[in-house]
Amino acid sequence: MEGNAMKKFSLLLIAAILGSALTIGTFKLIETDNSKSLKIEHISETPVVGAAYTVNQNGEVVPLQFTDVAKKVMPAVVNIKSTQLYRVNNREYQDPFRHFFDDDIFKHFFGPDFRFESPQPQQRGPQARVGTGSGVIINSDGYIVTNNHVIHNADDIEVTLDDNRVFKAKVIGTDPSTDLALIQIKEKDLPYVSLVNSDEVQVGEWVLAIGNPFNLNSTVTAGIVSAKGRNINILQDQSAIESFIQTDAAINPGNSGGALVNLKGGLVGINTAIASPTGAYAGYGFAVPANIVSKVVEDLLKYGMVQRGYLGLMIRDVDGNLAKEKGLKVTEGVYVDSIAAKSAAGDVGVKENDVITHVNNIEVETSAKLLEAIGRHHPGDEVMLKVNRDGKVKEFNVTLRNQEGKTNFSEKGSEDMLEILGVELEEIGKGLSRKLDIEGGLKITKLTIGKLSRHTAVKEGFIITKVDGQSVKTIEKLIEILESKEGGVMIEGVYEDYPGSYYYAFGL
């Protein structure tokens, strides 16, 4: 045995020496004979093309590769540049030298009434704030899904395709409650990504994140699905639905709105957020599931806004401590804390202290999963709730309602237009109308971030009397005029304490 081992070792040693000699000889040839043209050969295929292996549908063990899916999806992921224009007013200017002239030493020389008046700078023109993100083409006619925060309040949206073509985009609709937005570019026959059923995505499944982090276009990272139904309390909306797919594929600023896909190239979710103490990738990213994306896109195209059903319940997650405190018979599910007025679930028999465990036979272990399951439905849809009450299972058929407690669809109301303008308005009374010698108008009681604050110098207290020459006395009339407008808009009005009329122009 010892002789055989020595023999094998000698053969390996000889082979290694010969291999080294051949390698050295080749490099010597390249170094010493510069007069001859050299043929450099490349190995077209190596024995190992992947570090991991999987089993295909035929039961064959094959190397795990991401190249095919990356080639398939990258052309459908775009770079989005959104530009906000805003005006800097004189009142926002702070004189950096003012404090020098308020010093007592100047009052000593020039008297106690001394006051330095620094010259006011001229009003600066519109300033630009530029942000970037990603988007996913989901239709050959140029429909693109991205995050709402990528294009929120943008005055100009520019989309760059993977082949460097550039287009202007228009907003089809937004849904702050899921941080999704749908935009469109004017182009046909575009590559696109199909959505998959995100309910079938499994924890531990391989996924790729494709986007434009730090403006590094068409970046692909790989990871697995780390968890599902995550709620990280990042969306600042009253009706927020957070049931994120968590992944350890690297996601960074600029990935927002990009694609999370499976190894077949199907869209699993839209990358939205990261969990990080530094603002850059620190281990986990979060994506809106494709089933929520599908519902939002469908509603925006069909109704212009998301039509979402509600149960009318205040809820929280069940855990071991809550189960012990309330004497519950289960440690997973959604606890009914209280029941709202006009509650769809309450009216059919759901009670406080119930634990909801299933929606249409889909298990809901957390509030996030329940909100996701209900959020896919419209007002008027019927869902079956399975409830654990004192250890007994009960079932309730609930007809969902809108936020107003009705089963009909909501209409796109004035709140949307007023949010775009960034104002709160009130109709002025007859007394003030007579005092100002006007027929009526709408007083701006509060200015928020919107078209008026970013593009005009209008102040709170301004009374709108006309829009593009048409008199406005009611909020409904203002909305009616603006909803039929595209492009430039001129508003006319007065201030209660200033003489004359004032005019402000902005674009819709």
Q: What is the spatial distance between Cα 438 and Cα 36, in angstroms, rounded to a whole number? A: 95
Q: What is the token pair recorded at 45?
A: 């295929």
* Rg of the Cα atoms in the chain: 32
**Alpha helix (H) ranges present in 429-471?**
430-436, 451-455
Nearest by Cα to 69 from 215, 238, 205: 205
Decide if 149 is catalytic.
Answer: yes
Question: How many whole angstroms separate alpha carbon 328 and alpha carbon 338?
Answer: 16
Catalytic residue among 82, 149, 175, 354: 149
Q: How distant is the alpha carbon of residue 453 from its chain centre?
A: 24
The whole-angstrom separation of Cα 220 and Cα 210 is 5
* SS3 track for 122-178: CCCCEEEEEEEEEEEECCCCCEEEEEHHHHCCCCEEEEECCCCCEEEEEEEEEECCC
Choose, from 134, 256, 343, 367, the residue flagged as catalytic.
256
How many residues would you count in the chain?
508
256 is catalytic: yes
Go through 236-258 and write b for each residue having 16 or more CB atoms within 10 A of its CB, e for each that does not: eeeebbbbbbbbbbbbbbbbbbb
DSSP state of 360: T
List, in order, residues 6 or more apart from 504 with CB less than 8 Å away. 452, 456, 457, 458, 490, 491
Q: What's the CA gap between 359 and 213, in Å, rounded?
A: 37
Cα(243)–Cα(367) distance, integer angstroms = 9
Whether residue 335 contacts residue 353, with contact meaning beta carbons closer than 8 Å, is answered with yes
Q: Can you tell me the distance from the alpha carbon of 217 to that of 456, in angstroms, rounded to the nearest whole number? A: 35
The gap between the terminal CA atoms of the chain, to the nearest Å, is 89
Q: Which is the catalytic residue, given 175, 179, 248, 299?
A: 179
Q: Which helix H or strand E contains 6, and what residues bound it?
A: helix 2-32
Which are the catalytic amino acids? Answer: 149, 179, 256
